[in-house]
Structures are given as C-alpha cells and as structure tokens.
Chain A
Amino acid sequence: MRARGLVLLALAVAALPLALPNKYAYDVAILVGLNAIVCVGLNLLIGYAGQISLGHAGFFGLGAYGSAILAARYGWPTPLSLAAAVAGVALLAWLVGRPILRLRGHHLAMATLGLGIIVAIVIATEDGLTGGPDGMSVPPLAAFGVALAGETAWYWAVGALLVGVVWLARNLIDSPRGRALRALHGSEVAAEMVGIDSARHKLNAFVLSAALAALAGGLTAHYAGFITPAKATFLHSIELVTMVVFGGMASTFGAVAGAAVLTLLPQFLTALKDYEMVVFGAVLMFTMIFMPRGLVPTLEKALAAANRRAV
C-alpha cells in the first residue's frame, strides 16, 4: 500500500521511453524530471512545513553556476564541483534561514525573495565569472574518464534520481521528522508543546529543499552544456511555486505531477511564448479558485468518492 505510488512512478519512468519519439521529447522529459526534483524538495517546505520560498530559482541558479564555474574555470572534477555547489547552497540556506525561521509568520518568503533577486543580479553582472547575460558553457558530468552524455543516458540517470528523491521524501514524511513538519504547519503552539523545536525543523526542511534545487540546477547545467541566467530569475521561482501549488500541496506525487504538467504546457503553447507568465498566473488563479488543494489531492478525493459510490 505504502509502496504503491512509488512503484507506479518507477513504472511510469521505465515505460515512458516507449512513448518518446525523438531526442526533443527526451529533452523535455529530462527537464520534467529535473523540475520535479526541485518541486519534491520545495513541497517539503511549502506543502508540509507551511513556509513559502520565493527564491528557489536562486538556489537552482547557484547550484548550476557554482558547479559550472568550479568545473570550467577552476578545473574541478565535475562530481566534486557538483557536490561542492550543493553543499555551498545548503550552507547559504542555513545561514539565511537560521535567523529568519525563528520568527513566526511568512518572513521567509520576503527574505528568499530578496536573496533570489540578489543571486540573479550577481549572476547577470559578474560576467568575468559567469559570462553575464550571454551565459557560459559547462563541461559534461564525467567520472573516471566516462562522461554522462546523450539524451538516453541522461533520461535514465534523472529518472532514477527522481524515483530515489521521491522515495527519500516519502520516508521522511512518514517519520517523526515529517510529522514534526506537518504538526508545526497544523498548530505551531501545539507542536512546541509536544517538544517539537519548530524553528529547527523548518530550517531542516528549508536547507534540504535548497540543496535539492541546487542539485537539480547543477545537473541541468551539466546536461545542457550551457547555462544562462534565465533559470535563476524571480520568474522561475514563481514557476516553481506554481508547480507545487498546482500539483497539490503536501502531496509528493502532486509535486511531480505539477512539475510535469507545467513543464509540458509551455512546450505545447510555443505560439504563446511571450505570454508564458500570463499562463502561469492564470493556472495559479484557477488552482486557488477551483481546486485549492491542488491537482493530485483533488483527483484522489474524487477517486475515493467514486469508489464509495461503486461499492
């Protein structure tokens, strides 16, 4: 029962290549997987801990540029540059989150908003290091002389990583740590009263979600071989939050579904390219008005109701 969702996800990842006609389709699928990894982490923060981050694109960008710069400019081996970028972002999130998450309320949203914008500006202006708005090329991910290259190889790597991340997230949620997050979201004072250090647990969720965003960012950079500051902007932070809210808060599979739908949507709406943010705004509004619980929880509820009628 517990494993059913995870098995379904693994089967979907395994079966999807049958329906992928060309390299471009693989490319989109990889993008979906990487966004889903960010969203699973972000959902731990937003959906479970009830804290909003408006700066996750900043962490994504720092992971991408951090690993790219260490590898391209300083010649670090790519697995090491990726690990260092993720660790660096986790440390940054810890430093920013520690004072802010002691306060109750939505101060984190404001702080991450500011942080995200600063990161985007630094990336765009430090052109000696980052290449500025033109972007920079990134060496491929390689270990022991073998490079991870080609859409198919990347598809399986990202697919396996996504299944692994979903497994980890669901394990966490079903542990005392996950219950602590849900508890402080439900009632912070009651959570404290059963001994939950709410500031510490919020901080853990924030750092973990930032690290996952940095990991996905670094992988995106190495996969694409080239990065621009676009993925580090405030608008991308909003896209990520929209994916989580649309898919369903406090639902790990909702986060995956949200990432999938909202990554695919712009691909089908290429004619509306200039209006992409309008579409995202409309999706967010539509979700809030018609299914505030999000896509997957709403479908689950409808399915359960249909089952009851059938019995």
Chain B
Amino acid sequence: MLLRTEELSKAFGGVAAVDAVSIAIEEGTVHALIGPNGAGKTTLLNLLCGIYRPTRGRIVFAGRDLAGRATHEYAAAGIGRTFQNLQVFFNMTALENVMTGRHLLEPCGFAAAALRLPARVREERACRLEAEALLEFVGLAQWRDTPADAMPYGALKRLEIARALAARPRLLLLDEPAAGLNPVETAEIDRLIHSLVTRRVTVVLVEHNMKLVMGVSQHVLVLDYGRVLAEGEPAAVRANPRVVEAYLGAEAR
C-alpha cells in the first residue's frame, strides 16, 4: 500500500470539511476522487500533500506517518501535485518551471552555485536536458523558452503536470486537470494520465469530467459532506444508487 489515511479529519472553525476519511491507495493505480461541489475533495487533496495540517488522523505514505510535517517534506517523501487554480511560476519560462520541479534532485551547495564550479555547469546542463524531455513528454516542446505568463491556459495545465513529474513523485495528485479545457485538450490529458502509469506513477485524480474519470481510473472514491459515500471500481460506483442520487443526478440515471 503506497498511501493510507486513518480517520483523517480537517475542520475549519467547527465545520468538518473532511470527516474521518480512511482510504488506501495501491501503487501503480489511478484513483479518482469525485463528489458534489463542497464535498471536501480539494480539502482532502490539500491534506494528502501537506498544505493543510489534519485536525485528526494519520497519513501513512510508504510506511511513514507524514501528518503534521511541512509541505516540502511531503514533496521530499515523493508526493507531487498540480493545482485547480493554476500555481505556475509566472516569473519564469516554461523550461525554467520544469527545471525548478527538479529541485529535490539537484542538491546544490552555496559555493558550487555561486562560483559556478565545473560540476555545477554539467549538472545544470543535465537538468536542462531532463526538463526538455519532460516538456516533450507533455507536448509543450514548442513553448520551451516562452515566459509562462504568455502561454495559453491549456498549455499551463500541462506545464504543471510536467513540473510535478520533474520531481519524480511516486504519487501525483491532480486537482481538476481538465477543468476549463476543450474536448481536444481533455483528450490530451486523458492520454497523459494513461502514460503516467507506464512511468510507474500512482495518481489521485479530482475531476468533474465523468467521461475522463471513468476512462482512466481503476478505483473511484465518492465524497459527500466530507465523508466517504462509496468506493470501488468505476462501473460499480456508477451503478450505486446512493451515488447516483447524491452526485450524478437524474441525468445519469
């Protein structure tokens, strides 16, 4: 089991946004996290990557309890994420964004950096090549030297994925990667998520696009009012009457 939460809870001033959620995520799978607006999906994601500290409960990742640690320690443990509302480094180019993603793989002493020692120059070149390969992988090679603030929305969504992958995470949390994208761009994200599995990256996906969710995930977890309403294989969850009622609505019936 790559990630396990035990009775994980987060309350904001007495309101339980996430309430005693216990989940288990197996390595090499795509887990979707769905639920109506305000069900606590993003809160749960923020707990899983250390942006929020849990009010109660444990987050055991690869055998270590991470609850209460700083966000960058979650990253160091091997958890990466993208953001629903873009958190791109707009003061950098596309390539620099991805190079920054390799921060943990680029230990760099002050003297080596300030004096630009030969070993540092070689590392910098290697870092650049890796980042270029990742831009290629997500289909952004032509944006390489473009400042991020001059890139279109759809490209920025993929840039965030490339930056997260640059850290070589074992677990990648994707927060609505297809939100605001057209069908062609959504298909591109679909292809990307499928190819993540071949990179041995485990994925937790929060997404409203049901076609995407049902197509890529092996496991679906439905949240409602901060609690787990149902979980299981996509087809089973889809057929669960409680889920249909709470979330998918009359349309899906």
Residue from A176, A178, A180 with most neighbouring chain B CB atoms (10 Å): A176
A152 at the binding interface (Cβ < 8 Å): no
Interface residue tally of chain B, by bracket?
A: 35 or more
- Residues from chain B with a CB closer than 8 A to the CB of A303 are none
Task: Choose from A175, A179, A194, A204 the contact partner of B167 (Cβ within 8 Å).
Answer: A194
Cα separation A182 to B89 with both chains bound (whole Å): 8
* B149 → A minimal CB distance (Å): 10
Task: For A176, list chain B residues within 8 Å (CB).
Answer: 100, 102-103, 106, 108, 113, 127
A189 contacts B71, C-beta separation under 8 Å: yes
Cβ contact of B164, chosen from A168, A174, A175, A194, cutoff 8 A: A194
A174 and B112 CA atoms in complex are apart in Å by 12
Q: Which of A176-232 contact B (CB under 8 A)?
A: 176-180, 182-183, 185-187, 189-198, 204
Docked-complex contact A185 and B124, CB < 8 angstroms: no
What B residues does A179 contact at CB under 8 A?
92, 96, 99-100, 103
Selected contact of B114 from candidates A168, A182, A191, A192, CB within 8 Å: A168
Bound Cα distance from A196 to B91, whole angstroms: 16
Contact present for B116 and A190 (CB under 8 Å): no
Q: Is B62 an interface residue (CB 8 A)?
A: no
Q: Which residues of B contact A185 (CB under 8 A)?
A: 91
> In whole angstroms, what is the CA distance A195 to B72 when docked?
4
The smallest C-beta distance from B64 to any residue of chain A, in angstroms, reads 16
Cβ-defined contact, B104 with A194, below 8 A = yes
Chain B residue with the shortest CB-CB distance to A180: B103
Interface 9-mer from B75-83, B177-185, B191-199: B75-83
A171 on interface, CB distance cutoff 8 Å = yes
What's the Cα separation between A172 and B124 when bound, in Å?
Answer: 12
Nearest CB in chain B to that of A177: its residue: B113
Give the shortest distance, in Å, between B110 (CB) and chain A (any CB).
7
Which residue of the partner chain A has the closest CB to B96?
A179
In the complex formed, the residue of B with least CB distance to A50 is B91
A-B contacts at CB below 8 angstroms, number: 106
Closest beta carbon of chain A to B91's beta carbon, Å:
5
**Is the CB of A119 closer than 8 A to any CB of chain B?**
no
Cβ of B120 under 8 Å from chain A: yes
Bound complex: CA A191 to CA B163 (Å): 10
A192 CA / B101 CA spacing, docked (Å): 10
A176 to B102, CA, bound (A): 8
Residue of A nearest to B83 (CB): A190
Closest CB of chain A to B221's CB: distance in Å? 22
**Cross-interface CB contact of B87 among A171, A180, A189, cutoff 8 Å:** A189
A38: Cβ under 8 A from any B Cβ:
no
B91 touches A186 (CB 8 A): yes
Query: Contact between A187 and B89 (Cβ–Cβ < 8 Å)?
Result: yes
User: In the docked arrangement, what's the CA distance between A186 and B104, Å?
Assistant: 18
Known: A194-B104, A194-B167. A189 touches B92 (CB 8 A): no
Nearest CB of A to B73, in Å: 8
Instruction: With both chains docked as a complex, state the minimum distance between the C-beta of B10 and any C-beta of chain A, in angstroms.
Output: 16
Report yes or no: A194 in contact with B166, Cβ–Cβ below 8 A: yes
Contact in complex: B89, A196 (CB < 8 Å) = no
Flag whether A71 is at the interface (Cβ < 8 A). Answer: no
Among the listed A193, A196, A198, which residue makes an inter-chain contact with B81, where contact means beta carbons less than 8 Å apart? A193
Residues A186 and B108 in contact, CB atoms below 8 Å apart: no
Contact, CB under 8 Å: B116 / A171: yes
The answer to the question of A250 belonging to the interface, with a C-beta cut-off of 8 Å to chain B, is yes
Are B80 and A192 neighbours in the complex by a CB distance under 8 Å? no
Contacts of A183 in B (CB 8 A): 89, 92, 100, 103
Instruction: Give the residues in chain A near B127, CB-CB below 8 Å.
Output: 176
27 contacts between A and B (CB under 8 A): A168-B114, A171-B116, A174-B116, A174-B124, A175-B108, A175-B114, A176-B103, A176-B113, A177-B110, A178-B113, A179-B103, A180-B100, A182-B89, A183-B92, A186-B91, A187-B87, A187-B88, A187-B90, A192-B51, A193-B87, A194-B100, A194-B166, A195-B75, A195-B76, A195-B103, A196-B103, A250-B91
Add 11 more A-B contacts to A168-B115, A182-B100, A186-B88 (CB < 8 A): A174-B116, A175-B108, A176-B113, A185-B91, A187-B87, A192-B50, A194-B75, A194-B164, A195-B76, A196-B103, A197-B72
On A, residues with C-beta under 8 Å from B are: 168, 171-172, 174-180, 182-183, 185-187, 189-198, 204, 250
